[in-house]
């Protein structure tokens, strides 16, 4: 789906981006993904799935004219969907 570059990225929008990309990678319905879920315990996402997510997020945000590089060393701190949303939202604010 083409990115909507006119919509400002508030936290809710960032969650939607993270959720939708995660849903596609994990072959799940977006509605089954919640902020409080753990990547490993609840969503059974392994390290390669997280790398897929990071690459997809960078690409998705670039289409919205937000240049974002998620550092590999920061990945270890992202344990839950909320961690990822908070991280991306903070970086988007800085950008």
Partner 1 sequence: MLPIAVDAMGGDKAPGEIVAGARHAAELGIPIVLVGPEDLDGRGDLDLIIATEVIEMDDDPAGGVRRKKDSTLVRAAEAVRDGKASAMISAGNTGATMAAALLRMGRIKGVNRPAIATVIPVPGSTPTVMLDSGANAEVQPEWLVQFAQMGAVYATDRFGIQNPKVGLLSIGEEPGKGDQLRKEAFSLLEGAPGINFIGNVEGRDLMKDRVDVVVTDGFTGNVVLKTLEGALRGVITALFDALGSDPANQPHTDALMPSLLSLYEMFDPDTYGGAILLGVDGVCIISHGSTSAKAMVNGIKIAQEMVSAGMVEQIRNAIAANA
Tokens 């609840």 sit on residue: 42
What are the distances in angstroms from CA 56 to CA 20, 24, 35? Answer: 10, 10, 18
Is 46 one of the catalytic residues? yes
Q: Which is nearer to partner 1, 15 or 60 (CB)?
A: 60
Catalytic-labelled residue, pool 10, 41, 46, 74: 46
Footprint (CB under 8 A) of partner 1, residues 16-55: 26-27, 44, 46-48, 51-52, 54-55
Which H or E run includes 60? helix 47-63
Phi-psi region of 44 (alpha: psi -120 to 50; beta: other; left: phi over 0): left
Cβ at position 29, least distance to partner 1 in Å? 13
Contact residues toward partner 1 (CB under 8 A) are 26-27, 44, 46-48, 51-52, 54-55, 72
């Amino acid at each position: 789906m083409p990115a909507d570059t006119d919509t400002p990225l508030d936290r809710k929008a960032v969650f939607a981006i993270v959720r939708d990309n995660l849903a596609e990678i994990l072959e799940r319905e977006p509605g089954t993904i919640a902020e409080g879920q753990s990547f490993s315990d609840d969503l059974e996402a392994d390290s390669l799935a997280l790398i897929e997510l990071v690459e997809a997020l960078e690409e998705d945000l670039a289409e919205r004219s937000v240049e974002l590089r998620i550092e590999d060393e920061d990945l270890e701190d992202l344990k839950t969907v909320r961690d990822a949303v908070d991280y991306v939202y903070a970086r988007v604010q800085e950008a």
